[in-house]
């Protein structure tokens, strides 16, 4: 994989997705660029405001390259549909079937995925002792696939995947099993049964996000001996995280994934290793 950035200090980056006006990624990337001695500009390209859909994605990528962008972060709903438009994929993006980071190098568009590594790094920062715990993953979309990959990559003994769309859950489990083995991952409709034999719970659905209130699982299933993680970070204290804290659970809020996916993307874009703890502090300032 040849994604090393040229030795220079000026970068033009962007985020492409729908309904992304509240994203903190531009502020995090530009602040870290400044602190690292780079002239880094990061722009939002909101497909919702532009009236763009998947059919406009090829045009958007071409436009970005022609206007000198060095890379793009890709978010909902384009992480999967962007893949056929790229020249090269990293192994993890191929395994996941999803891309959140596109690096432009020498006229080529190279797809990578820092969602899984971002969640995993945030998890290990908080709960290093729990990396091998069996876990239940609720949500089998792009975020769920990334979290499942991270759980298994860092050593989870078993991951059970639950989704209201049973076929989506099975497809996610099948994809992950190709990489990690059938004995370590499965799709199930028995949430209570899966949680009874698990030590961790991850919410990878929009439930709990601003505008999508509620709990992704029945409250009575959140036991005090579980660790609980959420990928939602608007708000940081989701109803699930609040409930888990009140019951004495160890928690990993969604902000960590948001920060550490940006850490990984920054390095791919610029070739410069960012100060991860500085980016964490900046994120905390932005969300306080």
The residues annotated with a catalytic role in the active site are 79
Parallel, antiparallel, or unpaired: how do β-strands 71-74 and 10-17 relate? parallel
| Calpha distance 134→148 (Å, rounded) | 11
Omega within 30 of 0 (cis) for the link into 98: no
| φ, ψ at 29 (rounded to 5°) | -70, -45
Task: Assess contact for 231 and 257: CB atoms under 8 A.
Answer: yes
CA distance 168 to 139: 9
What's the rounded Cα separation, in Å, for the pair 41 and 29? 8
The residues pairing with 161 across neighbouring beta strands, listed in sequence order, are 137, 187
Please give the Cα distance from 75 to 141 (Å, whole number).
12
H or E stretch at 246: helix 239-246
Strand partners, 45: 16
């Amino acid at each position: 994989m040849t994604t090393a950035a040229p030795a220079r200090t000026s970068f033009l980056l962007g985020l492409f997705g729908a309904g992304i006006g509240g994203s903190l990624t531009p502020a995090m990337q530009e602040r870290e660029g400044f602190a690292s001695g780079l002239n880094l500009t990061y722009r939002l390209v909101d497909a919702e405001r532009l009236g763009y859909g998947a059919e406009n994605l090829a045009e958007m990528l071409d436009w970005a390259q022609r206007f000198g962008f060095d890379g793009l972060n890709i978010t909902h709903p384009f992480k999967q549909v962007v893949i056929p438009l790229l020249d090269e994929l990293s192994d993890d993006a191929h395994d996941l079937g999803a891309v959140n980071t596109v690096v432009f190098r020498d006229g080529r568009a190279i797809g990578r995925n820092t969602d899984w590594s971002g969640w995993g790094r945030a998890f290990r920062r908080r709960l290093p002792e729990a990396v091998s715990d069996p876990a239940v993953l609720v949500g089998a979309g792009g975020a769920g696939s990334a979290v499942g990959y991270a759980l298994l990559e860092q050593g989870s003994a078993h991951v059970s995947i639950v989704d209201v769309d049973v076929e989506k859950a099975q497809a996610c489990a099948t994809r992950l099993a190709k990489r990690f083995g059938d004995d370590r991952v499965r799709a199930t409709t028995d949430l209570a049964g899966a949680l009874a034999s698990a030590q961790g719970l991850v919410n990878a659905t929009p439930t709990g996000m601003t505008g999508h209130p509620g709990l992704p699982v029945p409250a009575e299933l959140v036991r005090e001996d579980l660790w609980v993680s959420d990928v939602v970070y608007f708000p940081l204290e989701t109803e699930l995280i609040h409930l888990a804290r009140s019951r004495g659970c160890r928690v990993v809020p969604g902000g960590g994934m948001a920060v550490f996916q940006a850490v990984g993307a920054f390095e791919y874009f610029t070739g410069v290793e960012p100060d991860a703890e500085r980016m964490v502090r900046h994120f905390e300032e932005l969300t306080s």
